[in-house]
Amino acid sequence: MNILITGAKGFAGRNLVENLKNIRDGKNKTRPNITVEEIYEYDLDSTPEQLDEYCSKADFVFNLAGVNRPTDPADFKKGNRDFAETLLETLKKYNSKAPVMVSSSIQATLAGRFGTSEYGLSKKAGEELFFAYGEETGNRVMVYRFPNLVGKWVKPNYNSAVGTFCNNIANDLPITVNDPSVELEMLFIDDLVEEMFDAIEGKEHHCEFDGVNAIIQDNGRYCYAPVTHKATLGRIVELLNIFHDQPKTLVMPEIPNGSFEKKLYSMYLSYLPKEKTIFDLKMNCDDRGSFTELLKTANCGQFSVNISKPGITKGQHWHNSKWEFFIVVAGHGLIQERKIGTDEVIEFEVSGDKIQAVHMLPGYTHNIINLSDTENLVTVMWANEQFDPNHPDTFFEKV
C-alpha cells in the first residue's frame, strides 16, 4: 500500500509518518493487516509536481495539512479550504479510488464560542468539500473532528496550552493559568495514530455531533478517536509539577495503564532538556559501602540499592510488618534470617551469576554478608513501604 500524508512535517503528520515507517520496516508487527510500501510525505516545501505524482500512486490519503495560527486570517481559507480543493481535484484527475482521511477540528461544529471562529468556518468548508467528493466519486471519506491534540513533539507556545505547560515546567519557565477550573478534552497523539491505523484497516469509528460532543453512531457522517481524556487546567499543572519534582522526591505517582497521568508524564518527559535527563541520587556512604534510595511510590513501597564491601555484614535488624526483597545482582553473598525468639536460622547463598529474589520475612531478624575477599556485593532492595523516620519499624538484633 502506498500512503500519502499531507502536512507530513506537522505534529500529527510527523507522528504518523514515523509510526508507518515502523510498520513498513517490520519493527511494529501489531498490525499484520497493514502493508506499507511507499510513504509519500507532502508539506509546504513540496512542489505541485510532487502532489501530482503522489495522488496518482496513492492507495490511501491522510489529509493532515492545515493552518491554525496564521498572521493573516485570510490564510485560514487558503490553508484549510483551498488546499483541500486542490488535493481533491488532483485525486479526481487520476480517477483515484484511495480512501481519504481528513483532519478537521471540533471548532468546525461552530457550537458555542466556536460560532464565530474563522478557523472553525474554514474547517467546516473543507469538510463539505470532502463530503461532496465522496458522494461524487463513491470513495470512502472519513472526516475526523479533533479536540485538543497533545503528545510528544507538539509545538509549545503555539496552539496547545498543554504543550506550553509541559515545555515551560520542564525548562523551569513561568506559566500563566487564568482559570484553573477550565476543562480540556485531550486526544493524545499515540491514541490518534492507533485510530488512523484502524482507518487504514476499514475499522474507523463513526459518530454524529451534538454540539461539541461526539455521539457514537455506526453509520454516522463523521469519525472520531474513541480514547480521549478530560482534565482541568489546574489538575494538568498539578501533575506536571509532581513530575518536575520527581528527581528530588523520588516519588513516582500512580500511572495506571491507559491513564491520563501515564500519557501526560510521557508527554512531559519529551520536553526535558539534556541537563535534566540525568540526575544525581543521594548515596549514603560509610566504610562498609553505600545505600542509595532509587525510587519511591505512593502505595507500593520503594526501591534501593545496597553496596557492601568485601567481608562486610549489613542488616542485623527485624521488622513487625515491613518486608523486603533482596536481589543480589553482582558479587557473592549469604543472607541469613532468624525468627525472633527462636534459634531457627534460614540461610540463602546468593550470587549475581544467578539472580534470585529473597523475602525478608516479618518477625525475622536478617543480614546480608559479602562472602568475597575482593568484590563488592551489589543488592537491589524493595520494601513494601516508604521509610518513615517517625515509624521506622526497624529494630537492631543480630542474627
The residues spanned by each domain of the chain are 2-249, 283-396
DSSP characters for 26-45? TS--S-TT----EEEEE-TT
What is residue 219's predicted lDDT score, i.e. its pLDDT? 94
Q: What is the mean pLDDT of the chain?
A: 94
Q: What pLDDT, on the 0 to 100 scale, is given for residue 80?
A: 62
Find the Cα–Cα–Cα–Cα dihedral 269, 67, 84, 102, rounded to 10°: 30
Whether 283-396 and 2-249 are alike in CATH topology: the answer is no
Quickly tell me which residue has 483532519 as its cell. 103
Whether the CB-CB separation of 131 and 221 falls below 8 Å is answered with yes
| Mean pLDDT calculated for residue range 282-293 | 98
Sign of CA dihedral 180, 276, 266, 107: positive
Residue with cell 519511591: 296
C-alpha to C-alpha distance for 346 and 20, rounded to whole angstroms: 55
Looking at beta carbons, which pairs linking 126-133 to residues 24 or more positions away fall under 8 Å?
Answer: 126/66, 126/80, 126/81, 126/84, 126/102, 127/102, 129/81, 129/84, 129/85, 129/88, 130/63, 130/84, 130/88, 130/100, 130/102, 131/221, 133/88, 133/91, 133/92, 133/100
Count CB-CB contacts under 10 A for residue 309. Answer: 16
Residue 297, strand partner residues: 252
- The answer on pLDDT for 368 being more than 70 is yes
First and final C-alpha spacing in the chain:
68
pLDDT at 67: 54
Phi, psi of 120 (to 5 degrees): -60, -40
Taking only the tens place, the pLDDT of each residue in 338-364 is 999 999 999 999 999 999 999 999 999
Of 53-57, 151-155, 166-170, 210-214, the poorest mean pLDDT is in 210-214
pLDDT for 112: 75
Please tell me the predicted confidence (pLDDT) of residue 111: 82
pLDDT at 74 > cutoff 70? no
Dig out the grid coordinates for 111 from the structure: 457550537
Check residue 123 and give its pLDDT. 82
Say if CB 180 and CB 237 are below 8 A apart. yes
Structure-block grid coordinates of residue 13: 503528520
Tens of pLDDT, residue by residue over 77-134, are 555 678 899 999 999 999 999 999 999 988 888 887 776 777 777 788 889 999 999 9
Helix residue ranges, H only, 67-160: 74-76, 83-93, 118-137
The catalytic residue among 40, 42, 54, 119 is 119
Cell of 297: 511510590
Closest CA to 150 of 229, 42, 259: 229
Strand order in the sheet with 229-232: 148-150, 183-188, 229-232
60-63 and 2-6 as β-strands: parallel, antiparallel, unpaired? parallel
Q: What are phi and psi of 256, to 5 degrees?
A: -60, 155
What percentage of the chain reaches a pLDDT higher than 90?
87
Residue 66: is its pLDDT beyond 80? no
Using the predicted structure, report yes or no on whether residue 274 has a pLDDT greater than 60. Answer: yes
Task: Give the CB-side neighbour count of residue 262, counting CA atoms within 13 A.
Answer: 8
Q: Can 119 be counted among the known catalytic residues?
A: yes
Class of domain 2-249: alpha beta
Dist CA 274 CA 247 (whole Å): 14
Residue 316: predicted pLDDT? 98
List, in order, residues 6 or more apart from 82 with CB less than 8 Å away. none
Domain 283-396 in CATH 3.30.930.10: no
pLDDT greater than 70 at residue 71:
no
Count the neighbouring beta carbons within 10 Å of the beta carbon of residue 3: 25
The whole-number pLDDT of residue 122 equals: 79
Residue 70 banded pLDDT, cuts 50, 70, 90:
low
Tens digit of pLDDT for each residue in 213-242? 999 999 999 999 999 999 999 999 999 999
If you search the block for the grid coordinates 542474627, which residue do you land on? 399
For residue 348 the three cell numbers come to: 540463602
Instruction: Round to whole Å and give the CA distance between 197 and 363.
Output: 54
